[in-house]
Amino acid sequence: MKVEGKHIRSIWLEPDGWSVSAIDQRRLPHEFVVARLKTCDAAADAIRSMLVRGAPLIGATAAYGIALAMRADGSDAALDSACKMLIATRPTAINLKWALDDMRSTLRHLPPSARAEAAYRRAGEIAEDDIAINTGIGRHGFALIEAIVAAKKPGERVNVLTHCNAGWLATVDWGTATAPIYLAHDRGHAVHVWVDETRPRNQGASLTAWELGHHGVPHTVIPDNTGGHLMQHGMVDLVIVGTDRVTAKGDVCNKIGTYLKALAAHDNGIPFYVALPSPTIDFGVDDGIRQIPIEQRAVDEVTTMTGRTADGRIETVRVVPDGSPVANYGFDVTPARLVTGLITERGVIRADRAALAAAFPERVAAAAE
Ligand code: MRU
C-alpha cells in the first residue's frame, strides 16, 4: 500500500538478491525505519522482538530466514537448527509453523548446494501468494461492505470496527481485515474505521491508524473499551478482525480483546467477521480455548508506555505502581458460535467444521498425513 504516495510492502528482497528488508514496526508511527536482515538469527530476532509482527508477515519472514540460513550453510544440520530457532520465536500464530513446514518440505529432498536458490525462490512465492490471497479476501469482503451500503441509505458511510493491526503491515501487502476496506475506499465508497487502540502494544493506535492515514482512509482511534458503547448506539455496521489461528471447527484466536468485541457484537446483533488467509487455518487443532498456546509477553509492555514528547523525543514512562503484579496475555479465543463468517480467499464461509473442510479439502488431507 502507499506511504507518502509511494507503494511499499512490509518486507522485500533487496536488489542484491540475498538480503531482506523489512519496515521496523517497533518505531512506527513516529519514525519510518527500514531494517536490513542478513542472517537467519536476524530474521528470528526480528520476529521475537516484533520488529515484524502479524501472522502472515511472521510466516513470510521465517521463510526468508530459512533462505538466509541456507545461503550460509545448506546442510541438513543447518536446516534443522534454523527451523528450531525460528519456530521458538512466537507460539500462537500458526503461519509460522505453516511456512517452516513448507520450506522444509521444499528443501529437504534437494542437495545442500541447491537449497539456497530454492529457498529464496520459495520464500518469494510465499510472499507473492500472501498478496494474491489478500486480494481475494479483499474482493469477497468488499461484497459484504457493498451489501451493507445497499441496505443503508445511499451515500451514508459504512462504519467498520477493527482490533489490533490486521492491515498491510501485518501481511506482505493489503492486509486481511483491511483488504476489503482499502478496496471499498479505492472504489469510492464512504468507509470509516473505528480503530481499537489495542493495549498493551497499541498496534491499532500505532500501526492501523498509521496505515489508514497514509492511504487516506477515514478512521477514528478509540480506547479498547469503547466498542460496546458504539455498538449500542448504532455506530458500528460490522466488525472485521484478523486472526493468528483458526481451528478446524472455526474457533478464532486473535489479539487479546477480540473475544470481548465478539460478545458485544453478538449482544447488539452486529455482524462479526474474521478475515483469514488459508495458511492461518490449523486443521490439527479443534478446540481453540484448550489447545492453542497463548503467548504471554514481558510485563513491561503493560507497566510502561512509549511515545513522542512535545519536543520530539521518544520516551518510555511507567504507568503502573511499582510492585503491582501484572499479567500480559497476548491473544484470546473467540468461539466459532460468535463468528458471523470467515472471509477467506475462496469466499465468505461459515465458521464451522463442514464449511472449512469443504473450502480447503487439500489442507484437511495434508493435516491427516
Ligand atoms: O502480536 P501481533 O501484533 O503479532 O498480533 C497480530 C494480530 O493479532 C493480528 O490481528 C493477526 O496476526 C492477524 S494479521 C493479518
pLDDT tens for 284-315 read 999 999 999 999 999 999 999 999 999 999 99
Active-site pick, 244, 251, 282, 332: 244
For cell 479476501, what's the residue?
137
CATH no. for 2-128: 1.20.120.420
Instruction: Judge whether residue 186 has pLDDT over 80.
Output: yes
3-state secondary structure of 145: helix
CA distance 102 to 262: 32
Ligand 1 binding pocket mutation candidate from 89, 203, 224, 261 (most atoms within 8 A of CB):
203
Determine whether the shortest distance from the Cβ of 244 to ligand 1 is under 6 A: yes
Domain ranges for the chain: 2-128, 138-368
pLDDT in tens, 97-150: 999 999 999 999 999 999 999 999 999 999 999 999 999 999 999 999 999 988
The question of whether 322 is a catalytic residue gets the answer: no
Give 155's pLDDT tier (boundaries 50, 70, 90).
confident
Q: Is the pTM of this model over 0.95?
A: yes
3-state secondary structure of 51: coil
CATH no. for 138-368: 3.40.50.10470
CB half-sphere exposure, 15, CA atoms < 13 A = 0
